[in-house]
Structure 1
């Protein structure tokens, strides 16, 4: 039962570590994974610290969930589980586990094409093989699975809101990314869109 409690936290550490290792590996190969093109909109200067702070609170609450600290940044009514069904916790664990599988398969299938941001001069190849043949966005889908699984595992107001915000923000980011991909990969991406679903 103790492992069940720490599983979401350990899973997040696994997700973060594998991504960092992959980025370091690609940089050693001389591949730049982040975008350097264009200026960021001014409103993002304000949003970055807000999202950063929200992420730190989320991480603290995730650690609190795992290790049962006696403190919390948030009031108890926001962090207390609304439902206490064991089957819901198991459903959350299964969904988090699926997110780990998708995550690993995605990083492997990306090979040298992992990129963050929209960079006209640093695109990488269009990946349509492996898990990308089942979903156009397995990277984001794995994140959606993780946050949804966590909300099922511990259905507090805080984790439910975080899951909802994640799902919405990722969806809008995907729509923006699709415009970029259609522009730069043209007909190849349009054909890929026709035979492969956005999520499934």
Structure 2
């Protein structure tokens, strides 16, 4: 029961951060959710698939938590908690650091800043890294085959969003500034 309570708290803080940011930006007239809007072809497919998987994963996580599924040893639950809590901290830090440049999906019409300070000086994509860590952490806490497949698919889609949508958009928008940043900071974690 304690692992279920911890997992629910992790998910509440994780998704709460995201929705609080969306509401805060909406009050300022900023449309945070840009997923699939104004896109065509493969880019639209990736973004829409990402939006769908970000709905399916928490449903699978909640079902797994309620059923208290786990076929792994107890120590993996403890490791899962540590990974998920780290993911939540990374997401919150990235959301705060981005300030009003935060978007879900890319927007060619909104003017945003290229944020390279704070957590972004160690990861070009800390929000995606945070999502991945939360997904992996909850998976380790409540491992089952369905959650495994759905979580891995989510991580793969996030990666495709980064390499096929976000990076191209950032190069087109910020040109040399982003290219220089890309040379210094790794996609997920680390400096070069």
Aligned-pair distance for 1:62? 2.9
In the TM superposition, what are the counterparts of 1:42-121 in structure 2 within 5 Å? Answer: 52=52, 55-56=55-56, 58-68=57-67, 81-83=70-72, 85-121=73-109
Q: Is the 8 A contact 1:126 1:185 kept in 2?
A: yes
Instruction: Provide, for residues 151-174 of structure 1, a one-character-per-residue CA deviation record: whole Å limited to 9, x for no partner.
Output: 211221012112211121111110
Task: Quote the residue 2:179 is aligned against.
Answer: 190
Q: Quote the Cα distance in structure 2 between the aligned partners of 1:42 and 1:188.
A: 26
Q: Quote the Cα distance in structure 2 between the aligned partners of 1:128 and 1:21.
A: 23
> TM-score if structure 2 supplies the norm length?
0.84
- Unaligned runs of 5+ residues in structure 1 are 70-79
- Unaligned runs of 5+ residues in structure 2 are none
Task: Quote the residue 1:166 is aligned against.
Answer: 154
Distance 1:183 1:52, change over 3 A: closer
Task: Quote the residue 2:13 is aligned against.
Answer: 14
Distance 1:55 1:6, change over 3 A: same
Aligned-pair distance for 1:39? 4.6
Give aligned pairs, total.
186
User: Root-mean-square deviation (CA), in Å?
Assistant: 2.8
Q: Which has the larger radius of gyration?
A: 1
Q: Is the 8 A contact 1:82 1:157 kept in 2?
A: no
Q: Quote the Cα distance in structure 2 between the aligned partners of 1:3 and 1:173.
A: 35
In the TM superposition, what are the counterparts of 1:121-200 in structure 2 within 5 Å? Answer: 121-176=109-164, 177-200=166-189
Instruction: Provide, for residues 22-74 of structure 1, a one-character-per-residue CA deviation record: whole Å limited to 9, x for no partner.
Output: 111112122232338625449969x969x749945x444433443449xxxxx
Q: Quote the Cα distance in structure 1 between the aligned partners of 2:79 and 2:138.
A: 10
Distance 1:105 1:191, change over 3 A: same
Task: Quote the residue 1:3 is aligned against.
Answer: 2
> TM-score if structure 1 supplies the norm length?
0.81
Structure 1 residue runs of 4 or more that deviate by more than 6 Å after TM superposition: 42-45
